[in-house]
Amino acid sequence: MSEQVFRSGFVSIVGRPNVGKSTLLNRILGEKLMITSDKPQTTRNQIKGIHNIPGGQIVFLDTPGIHRAKTRLNQFMVDEALSSVQGVDLILFLVDGAFEPEKEAGMIKEVLSGVEAPVILVMNKIDLIPKGELLERMGIYGDTYPFKEIIPVSASTGDGVEQLVQLVHGLLPEGPCYFPDDILTDVPERFIVAEIVREKIFRLTHDEVPYSVAVVVDSFKERENGVVAIQATINVERDSQKGIIIGRRGDMLKKIGTQSRQEIERLLDAKVFLELFVRVSGEWSDNSRMLKEFGYES
């Protein structure tokens, strides 16, 4: 009996902001690894999520949403997304299934121009599509680009996700196990901790505040008693934003800290002592030196 072929490779997930890329990857991994919110541009960095299945390993690349860049930070995010379509084995182009397909055609052609890897169009949020319109929308997308497949899914409910994973696995080449089979990502814990704090700010504050926030973990130490002591700085661009983050009598900062600590404890499986500080770093999102300091430029 011949041995089963082990298939592995790198799969980039790209698309507009807020189409559900991080939600889809969290669903595939079975763990909340990527931060999510109902606001666009939540994801800022290219992050690997490693999914092991019998006979294969799929290394997914979660990417920022593709949008028009207005600051150096926005340009960094777009560059992260666009660079991910090169040198990978497969591309998942994610769209909001409830969005009008005709309005996506231009961006799809522009982003995928010159791409050599096969592309699967993933229509997400199919639970929001009116009955009877799914096949019509799939047909319109099929006329836009020679996709390898068009797969409807709902990342929020899980519908179609397992079928998507099986399709991806079958399209990957024979290859090695790139990462140990007991890890979900190659990013350090400090990075994930900073992202968790930033997610709580996204969820608890409004307007322009989340987009002007950068979180830096200054200290990450495990004490002799097993408690992990973490200090992190929340950088904002204006004094008014600092006031919103801190809140009246420090209530908002306390709420951000409590929710962050609880999730970090689940991540690390340890007791956590978390200290958060807020600093005004004026116009950091358009400052090359600060972007590098905060991890947003290579």
User: 238: annotated binding-site residue?
Assistant: no
Sequence-ordered list of residues with C-beta below 8 angstroms from that of 98, at least 6 positions apart, any chain: 125, 128, 129
User: 205: annotated binding-site residue?
Assistant: no
User: 159: annotated binding-site residue?
Assistant: no
User: 124: annotated binding-site residue?
Assistant: yes
User: 66: annotated binding-site residue?
Assistant: yes
d(CA 135, CA 141): 10
User: 18: annotated binding-site residue?
Assistant: yes
Question: Facing residues of 116 across strands?
Answer: none
User: 15: annotated binding-site residue?
Assistant: yes
User: 9: annotated binding-site residue?
Assistant: no
User: 17: annotated binding-site residue?
Assistant: yes
Q: How many residues does the chain have?
A: 298
User: 22: annotated binding-site residue?
Assistant: yes
- 60, 90, 86: which is closest to 178 by C-alpha? 60
The structure tokens listed for 159 are 């519908």
Residue type, 269: D
Residue type, 63: T
The structure tokens listed for 176 are 């090695």
User: 207: annotated binding-site residue?
Assistant: no
The structure tokens listed for 237 are 């661009």
* Complete DSSP assignment for 164-231: HHHHHHHHSPB----S-TT-S-SS-HHHHHHHHHHHHHHHH--TTTGGG-EEEEEEEEE-TTSPEEEE
User: 108: annotated binding-site residue?
Assistant: no
Q: For the purposes of burial, counting CB atoms within 10 Å of the CB of 188, is it exposed (0-12), middle (13-18) or buried (19 or more)?
A: exposed
Name the CA radius of gyration of the chain, rounded: 20
User: 19: annotated binding-site residue?
Assistant: yes
Binding residues: 15-22, 62-66, 124-127
Binding residues for GTP: 15-22, 62-66, 124-127
